[in-house]
Structure 1
Amino acid sequence: MTTGQYIFAANARRTLRNIGMAHLDPAHGAAVDAVRWCMAVRGRPTHHRLAFLESEAPALLAYLERVANSGDSASWRTMEERIRVYAEVLRDSQEHPCARPWLAAIWHTLPEFAAIGQTVLDRAAEQRGVSPEVASALMPSDEGSGEGEKGSGGNSGASGTAAKPRPSSRLALPMITVTLTEQEKKVLDLAEDETDDVAPAGTPDASNENNNGAGPKPPGVKP
């Protein structure tokens, strides 16, 4: 393990401790950390974060890259607004006390980000004439700048140049339907959909055999 990989893994475990979810697979902490980092730098994920998302969460990667590449600060505000909704619910309900409630809110919002990202992937596949079934199997992504960064497996960090594997059970997220706001449709270039609902993303089973892959659930919903 390189120094960079060690730091990346340590950050993922620390994130889980900070949100009171140390029992989860570190992949959940890595996903939260990737979202946090992208929001902090207002940019797409790079290096170990990019490699992780390419292999474990291509739909989440597609969403983050679409937001980063939109060139509109409003796209980041729509992202923050979704997280803020959960942050307020967690604060008012006091059901998830932890050291970093904002990070906990990000964790609860991951299924929504992945659902929107899956729509981005499906839309790109349709434009290439690929059926949604084939697209979901290959998990391609058209997002990215096409420059520089190397992701997992030596593929270019610009998603869309190579097919991505299916998401692993380490980061299994529950299937949900997300209703896009008018602002999201505009800044994320998803306005041409005939329906406001975003296709579900993730897998029907939100947990693996040892429950380490348990996906986020809305506050107030008991497992």
Structure 2
Amino acid sequence: MTIGEEIFWKNAYGVLRDIRMQHLDPAHGAAVEAVRWCRLVKKRPTYKRQAFLEKESPALLAYLETLASIEEFGIWRTLDDRIRLRAEALRSEGSQTCARPWLAATWHALPELVAIGELILDQRLEPAFPNQGMIPTVQADQGKGNGDGESGDGDKTGSAGSTAKPSVQPPKKLKFPATLVLLSPTERKAFDLDDEAGDDLENDENDNRPDGPDERNRPVNQIGGAL
């Protein structure tokens, strides 16, 4: 491990300590640290942060990169507003007992940022693959034949359109619950996400929402549970 990697993971562990969530995988601390750094310098993730997000959360990387690419004044305020809402909810519930509550609020906002990033990635795929059924997928090689006497180790098309044979990827350590995200007018315009894309996300979340009282007007999702 290089010195840079040691510092990167030391900061990630430090984040979890500061928000009193040492039970989480350090990948969660690294994600919070990446968002914190981007907010501070108003730039996209670079070096270790970029490499980490490319592996663990391409959607979060897409969100932060898109945010940094927008020259509109005050665009970073949309991220601040989402974190601020989480901080207010934590404070009202008496859950802000850690050393750095703003970082805790950032962790609780991560599912929303990832959901927006997924929308951004979907938007990028649409021009290249107008027919959703044409979008290539990656399947792990099970070493089985295809029924025609072949060994099953032929070339497969990767998710990015590559013909390289995909390898089985280890499970990601960053896992977030499904989250309902309502985009603000500023976000819809800045991220070039039309109403239909936002409505699709909202409908998907409603389909996956368990039966029970309507919590649409709740400022945040249920918080405090282990991922």
Q: TM-score, normalised by structure 2?
A: 0.73
SS, match of residue 27 in structure 1: helix
The alpha-carbon deviation at position 176 of structure 1 amounts to: 1.7
Aligned to 1:20: 20
Aligned to 2:190: 187
Aligned to 2:29: 29
Deviations along 1:15-56, one digit per CA (max 9) or x if unpaired, are 000011011100000000000000000000000000000000
Code of the residue aligned with 2:47 in structure 1: it is: H
Aligned to 2:217: none
Cα distance in 2, alignment partners of residues 109 and 50 from structure 1: 19
Cα distance in 1, alignment partners of residues 136 and 117 from structure 2: 12
In the comparison of the two structures, how many residue pairs are matched?
188
The alpha-carbon deviation at position 131 of structure 1 amounts to: 5.8
- Flag structure 2 segments of 5+ consecutive residues without an equivalent: 139-159, 209-219
Code of the residue aligned with 2:55 in structure 1: it is: S
Tell me which stretches of 4 or more aligned residues in structure 1 moved more than 2 Å.
Answer: 130-138, 160-169, 191-201, 217-223
Deviations along 1:142-162, one digit per CA (max 9) or x if unpaired, are xxxxxxxxxxxxxxxxxx898
Q: Are the counterparts in 1 of residues 11 and 33 from structure 2 also a CA contact under 8 Å?
A: yes
Code of the residue aligned with 1:43 in structure 2: it is: K
What CA RMSD, in Å, does the superposition of the two structures yield over aligned residues? 3.1
The alpha-carbon deviation at position 72 of structure 1 amounts to: 1.6
Cα distance in 2, alignment partners of residues 15 and 113 from structure 1: 18
Aligned to 2:9: 9
1:65/1:89 CA distance change after superposition, 3 Å? same
Cα distance in 1, alignment partners of residues 191 and 94 from structure 2: 33
SS, match of residue 60 in structure 2: helix
Deviations along 1:55-100, one digit per CA (max 9) or x if unpaired, are 0000000100111111123321111101100001111211241000
The alpha-carbon deviation at position 198 of structure 1 amounts to: 3.1
The alpha-carbon deviation at position 166 of structure 1 amounts to: 7.3
Larger Rg: 2
1:132/1:166 CA distance change after superposition, 3 Å? farther
1:81/1:68 CA distance change after superposition, 3 Å? same
Cα distance in 2, alignment partners of residues 136 and 102 from structure 1: 40
- Flag structure 1 segments of 5+ consecutive residues without an equivalent: 139-159, 205-216
Aligned to 1:128: 128
The percentage of aligned residue pairs carrying the same residue is: 46
**Aligned 1:1-223 pairs, distance under 5 A:** 1-129=1-129, 168-191=171-194, 193=196, 195-196=198-199, 198=201, 218-219=221-222
1:3/1:194 CA distance change after superposition, 3 Å? closer
Q: TM-score, normalised by structure 1?
A: 0.74
1:96/1:57 CA distance change after superposition, 3 Å? same
Q: Are the counterparts in 2 of residues 112 and 178 from structure 1 also a CA contact under 8 Å?
A: yes
